[in-house]
Amino acid sequence: MADVKHTVKIVLKPILKTRLPVVCLKINDQVILDQAIEKEIEINETVSAQQKKIKISIQRSGRDKFVVNNEKEQSVIIDTIELNDVVINPDLGKFATSNNDYVKDDIVYSSQLTLNGHYQLEIPILTINGERNEKVKKLEKFNQRNVDADIALFGASMTDWNFETGIPPVFNKNNYADLLIKKFKNHNCLNMGLSGLANQEIFENVKYFFQHNHSKIIFIQLISCLGRQIKNSATGELYRWSMHLDNSKEEEFYDEFTGMTPKNVLDYFVYLDVVPLLAIQLPYIQNLINTIEQKNSKVYLVSYFKDEYDIYKKAFPNNIAPYFNIDSNTKYCKDNGYHATPDEQEKYCNELVNFIQEKQLIDLKK
């Protein structure tokens, strides 16, 4: 992780009459600012990823009895926090009030620092590193050599979906990847999807493929970043772990990929907000994109979660496929663990075909 850098932007706005609030701002325990502030301040820093987290700490002081009795107004507003150019909700940070006259100490989640106290926001560095699991290692399609493909479609169950095993079973229907392969029947196209994979495993499959093969175009269908692959460092066991599900038996062991227990990861967040989790991963994804493009390949990410898609689109405007629009209210989606209907799969296939043709990536007629 030593070569990866994260950018942090923080904007502080004071509200006051005459007495200035005092702020000591630290990022990963390094003092960035320590002074009284009378006007808006913007801080831009580059942070090394050598530590396992990015910690933003703000000690706010200067509210004394004179301010309380005479001026009333004296606050510091955390107006903006951006991580790798992604806006993070500053209210996710914890503010522990202390050393205030007339009021007891308290802990709140807020970006408005009206009282004296200590604000802290910690975001664990969740890289995209993972491992190819045993099922992948045994499947022939993931162990090909010297293949020169035109299109390779990587992903999880949305790319590998079998309608015959869904609820209810639907016959003679295909997922978008298999449909696209039929459209480009005169080209060498591969479906490299597999149900049950987390994004780390998908990225590992991409890296392994390009160590031994090549494809002119690749599409990488991603799941939500709330789902991760974790590894018990003591036993070497791999798990598919989701932050929004009950994983109590798996939360206490040390995860080799994050360098902490899964329970510790959960402890960082008040809400299961995907934005900071995804923002922290962007430099790693960019490194992977760069590596593949150096092999004269085109890379496009596929997402069917709108909030995550919007982040990808802003971060990688030249490497994002059309949004995979799924209606989460359909009975099929609800009964099948958030998967697209046959019509939605077919529609997305057609959108990808149009996307490929508009960008003149491959001539469908050849």
CATH of the domain at 214: 3.40.50.1110
Statement: residue 290 has pLDDT above 60 = yes
Statement: residue 12 has pLDDT above 70 = yes
**Is 64 in the same domain as 155?**
no
| Range of weakest confidence among 7-21, 62-76, 142-156, 243-257 | 243-257
* Domain final residue pick, 70, 102, 124: 124
243 confidence band (pLDDT: 50, 70, 90): confident
Domain that holds residue 59: 5-124
Statement: residue 287 has pLDDT above 50 = yes
Statement: residue 122 has pLDDT above 80 = yes
pLDDT for the residue numbered 34 = 97
> What are the distances in angstroms from CA 316 to CA 288, 309, 333?
12, 10, 28
**Is 19 in the same domain as 113?**
yes
Statement: residue 101 has pLDDT above 50 = yes
Statement: residue 265 has pLDDT above 80 = no
**Is 217 in the same domain as 338?**
yes
Statement: residue 14 has pLDDT above 90 = yes
**In this structure, are residues 144 and 111 in contact, taking their beta carbons and an 8 Å threshold?**
no
* CATH number of 18's domain: 2.60.60.40
pLDDT for the residue numbered 247 = 57
**Is 208 in the same domain as 341?**
yes
Long-range contacts of 90-95 (CB under 8 A, 24+ apart): 90/121, 92/121, 92/269, 92/270, 92/271, 92/273, 92/276, 93/56, 93/119, 93/120, 93/121, 94/119, 94/120, 94/121, 94/270, 95/119, 95/120
pLDDT for the residue numbered 270 = 54
**Is 165 in the same domain as 80?**
no
* Domain final residue pick, 68, 96, 124: 124
Average pLDDT of the residues in 212-220: 97
**Is 46 in the same domain as 82?**
yes
How many structural domains does the chain have?
2
**Is 13 in the same domain as 93?**
yes
pLDDT for the residue numbered 127 = 84
**Is 147 in the same domain as 115?**
no
242 confidence band (pLDDT: 50, 70, 90): confident
**Is 193 in the same domain as 46?**
no
pLDDT for the residue numbered 1 = 42
pLDDT for the residue numbered 77 = 97
**Domain assignment of residue 363, yes or no:** no
* Domain final residue pick, 64, 90, 124: 124
For tokens 């006007």, what's the residue? 39
The mean pLDDT of the chain is: 92
Whole-prediction pTM value?
0.92
pLDDT for the residue numbered 268 = 67
